[in-house]
Chain A
């Protein structure tokens, strides 16, 4: 798990904490790098299961950005679990995928996903998204 501390000054508003979930180490590094460059605190994990474990212990996750296709638990399944939890359901969830499948996108949005990003994710995509969702 990779974590980057936010850069907020002492006494200022807390820096948003984004949880990135992706089984690909390359994609995890890139999305973490993009979020870090936007001055967010980032924790990157490799599976939905790890994400739920972290959500159980970390009280202040501001947003979850997750890959769709992951072994054992897909991003869609993670989304459902988050939205079914009274404690977690307010956390915005963004889904990423390398495939543009309209039925998949609609299904995620109907389940409560905040947005759906196509990979490769660009800094401009994340910046626009975070501006809308977090600020």
Chain B
């Protein structure tokens, strides 16, 4: 009986640890500016019919944004100083970032577009590098966050951190 109680206590402690990790991860993502209120709006659309809606949208985002980043990369290579074209491609990526609440990535996209407006090639290249870096960082952090959510289960979803 004592062993059962210990096992039960251990399980409770583990759930508590996971819930705590989930809350800390969520707050970090928000406090560091990776995600804004729009992500909360997406998470709030989850219900019994679509319990993993936010993760599904995130998956769509990373697939689509990888394609859009590739478009920009090819445009930078094939169409030198074609700022209108570069801007048009980046506008699509920026829009996608807005829709999921990827605020740091969006900020770098806007920076790139500003440099396009100035006709500043070096500035465009620098900010594009930052866009890619933010993209990678966000993917890592969101994957960790959703993994924690899965581990926490329905109870964890109920204690999902408000961002």
A120 at the interface (CB under 8 A from B): yes
In A1-48, the 8 Å CB interface with B consists of: 24-27, 29-30, 33-34, 36-37
Question: In the complex, which residues of chain B have a beta carbon less than 8 angstroms from the beta carbon of A37?
Answer: 45, 47
CB of B44 within 8 A of CB of A123, answer yes
Q: How far is the CA of A40 from the CA of B63 in the complex (A)?
A: 27
User: By DSSP majority rule, is chain A's interface helix, strand, loop, or mixed?
Assistant: helix
CB of B45 within 8 A of CB of A34, answer yes
CB of A27 within 8 A of CB of B99, answer yes
Q: Closest A-chain residue to B94, C-beta based? A: A98
CB of A30 within 8 A of CB of B98, answer no
Question: In the complex, which residues of chain A have a beta carbon less than 8 angstroms from the beta carbon of B124?
Answer: none
Q: What mask results when residues 100 to 132 of chain B are scored 1 for a CB within 8 Å of chain A, else 0? A: 110000000000000000000000000000000
- Out of A26, A36, A69, name the residue touching B100 (CB < 8 Å): A26
Q: What mask results when residues 76 to 105 of chain A are scored 1 for a CB within 8 Å of chain B, else 0? A: 000000000000000000000010000000
Q: Closest A-chain residue to B98, C-beta based? A: A120
Question: In the complex, which residues of chain A have a beta carbon less than 8 angstroms from the beta carbon of B71?
Answer: none
**Closest chain A CB from B67 CB (angstroms):** 10
A-B contact pairs, 18 of them (CB 8 A): A24-B92, A24-B96, A26-B60, A26-B100, A27-B95, A27-B99, A30-B42, A30-B45, A30-B57, A33-B53, A34-B45, A36-B49, A69-B91, A119-B98, A119-B99, A120-B41, A120-B99, A123-B41
Given contacts A36-B45, A98-B98, A119-B99, 13 further A-B contacts (CB under 8 A): A24-B92, A26-B100, A30-B57, A30-B100, A34-B45, A36-B49, A36-B50, A37-B47, A119-B98, A120-B98, A120-B101, A123-B44, A123-B45
